[in-house]
């Protein structure tokens, strides 16, 4: 466990040494504050459009951080040949994978805390209403979803040769699931057999990341997800994380480390 935590600590340090997060945070803050300062028809009551824009930017930033940080972990270690002294410690390949995963996931969590804190301040100062529990639930679900994405990118980093191709493919897959995942069953029912069974099978197979996108519930001040549903969704995500991490280990344990 100590080894895993030590490896993850290095990944977290990398996040705050690199400039990616700061650039994304400043961009999110500037755009949100700029939109929030605009007065439409001398009206000061409108707040939902600011929340909408801010949450969209937070989701984009979090995805970029998660995918960007994870995609370069293992390829960078191999390219710099630092993987050899790391594995000679002795550290097993499973520990490397787990350490990298934990580091990236925790780094995403830290970034999310900063981003949601900013969102909470902006939203609360305009709305004069502080639904802290709702913000925490949204943050939790968002973080759990990023765990699945991080595990998936880690699998991609041992399958694909370049981090850029891994990042691009992951972006397409994740955005595809977020936009279309919910409707794949509807699409399947309109197809003739055997395409119907294939699409329906895909619908059951993919991790339904769209569940964790509860932005609308926050923007429109709706009652948030119940604790039981939240726990079940977390369990569902943990299963997919385990599947992807196991897949990563299966590929990585026999992989030649020389480039």
Partner 1 sequence: MRKLGPYLILLLLLTAGFSLATVLQERVSGWSNRGDSDNVLKVLLGDGRRLFANHFFVQADISFHSGYYPSIFDQANRPKDNRHLTAKEGEPAAEEHEKQMNFLGPPRDWIERFGRHFIITGHTHLEGNNRSEVLPWLKLSAELDPQKIETYTVAAYWLRDLGKIKEAERFLREGFLNNPESYEILLELGRLYYEHNHDVARARKIWDLALRRWSEQEAANKQPDLLKLDQIAVNLAHLEEQEGKLARAIQLLELCKKGSPHPEALQKQIDELKQKLAAPPPSAAPEAR
152 forms part of the interface with partner 1 (CB under 8 A): no
48 forms part of the interface with partner 1 (CB under 8 A): yes
Joined together, the tokens standing for residue 239 give 């299963």
46 forms part of the interface with partner 1 (CB under 8 A): yes
Angle at 111 between CA 239 and CA 68, to 5 degrees: 70
Kindly write out the interface string for residues 205-224 of this chain, putting x where it contacts partner 1 by CB under 8 A and - elsewhere. ---x-xxxxx-xx-xx-x--
225 forms part of the interface with partner 1 (CB under 8 A): yes
- The CA–CA distances, whole Å, from 199 to 101, 105, 162, 187, 203 equal 30, 31, 29, 8, 6
CB burial of 193-220 (b: ≥16 within 10 Å; e: otherwise) equals eeeeeebbeebeebbbbebbbbbebbbe
CB of 144 to partner 1, least distance (A): 12
Nearer to partner 1, 14 or 221 (CB): 221
Nearer to partner 1, 186 or 197 (CB): 186
Which stretch in 18-26, 66-74, 83-91, 178-186 sits in contact with partner 1 by CB under 8 A?
178-186
The whole-angstrom separation of Cα 105 and Cα 150 is 7
30 forms part of the interface with partner 1 (CB under 8 A): no
CB of 131 to partner 1, least distance (A): 15
- Give strand pairing partners of 43: 40
232 forms part of the interface with partner 1 (CB under 8 A): yes
128 forms part of the interface with partner 1 (CB under 8 A): no
Spatial contact of 38 and 50, defined as CB atoms under 8 Å apart: no
CB of 74 to partner 1, least distance (A): 32
Joined together, the tokens standing for residue 256 give 């030649």
Nearest CA among 112, 2, 106 for reference residue 59: 112
User: Which of 161, 164, 185, 197 lies at the binding interface for partner 1 (CB under 8 A)?
Assistant: 185
97 forms part of the interface with partner 1 (CB under 8 A): no
Stated as kind and residue range, the H or E segment containing 22 is helix 20-37
Nearest CA among 27, 21, 22 for reference residue 65: 21
- Give strand pairing partners of 212: none
User: Which of 29, 187, 199, 202 lies at the binding interface for partner 1 (CB under 8 A)?
Assistant: 187
* Site residue total, partner 1 (CB under 8 A): 36
Nearer to partner 1, 6 or 230 (CB): 230
User: Which of 203, 240, 244, 252 lies at the binding interface for partner 1 (CB under 8 A)?
Assistant: 203
Joined together, the tokens standing for residue 159 give 């399958």
CB of 176 to partner 1, least distance (A): 14
SS3 122: helix
Joined together, the tokens standing for residue 23 give 């650039």
Nearer to partner 1, 231 or 257 (CB): 231
Binding interface with partner 1 (CB under 8 A): 38, 40-43, 45-49, 52, 141, 182-183, 185-187, 189, 203-204, 208, 210-214, 216-217, 219-220, 222, 225-226, 229, 232-233
């Amino acid at each position: 466990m100590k080894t895993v935590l030590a490896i993850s600590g290095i990944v977290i340090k990398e996040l705050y040494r690199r400039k990616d997060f700061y650039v994304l945070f400043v961009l999110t803050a500037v755009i949100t504050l700029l939109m929030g300062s605009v007065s439409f028809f001398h009206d000061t009551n409108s707040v939902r459009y600011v929340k909408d824009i801010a949450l969209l930017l937070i989701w984009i930033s979090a995805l970029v951080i998660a995918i960007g940080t994870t995609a370069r972990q293992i390829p960078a270690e191999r390219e710099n040949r630092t993987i050899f002294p790391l594995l000679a410690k002795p550290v097993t390949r499973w520990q490397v994978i787990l350490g990298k995963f934990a580091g990236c996931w925790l780094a995403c969590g830290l970034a999310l805390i900063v981003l949601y804190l900013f969102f909470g301040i902006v939203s609360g100062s305009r709305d004069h209403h502080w639904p802290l529990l709702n913000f925490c639930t949204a943050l939790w679900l968002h973080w759990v979803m990023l765990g699945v994405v991080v595990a998936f990118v880690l699998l991609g980093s041992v399958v694909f040769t370049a981090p850029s191709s891994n990042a691009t493919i992951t972006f397409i897959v994740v955005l595809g699931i977020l936009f279309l995942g919910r409707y794949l069953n509807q699409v399947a029912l309109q197809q003739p057999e055997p395409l119907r069974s294939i699409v329906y099978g895909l619908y059951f197979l993919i991790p339904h990341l769209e569940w964790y996108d509860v932005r609308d519930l926050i923007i429109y001040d709706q009652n948030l997800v119940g604790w039981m549903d939240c726990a079940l969704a977390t369990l569902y995500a943990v299963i997919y994380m385990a599947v992807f991490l196991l897949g990563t280990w299966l590929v990585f344990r026999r992989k030649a480390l020389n480039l």
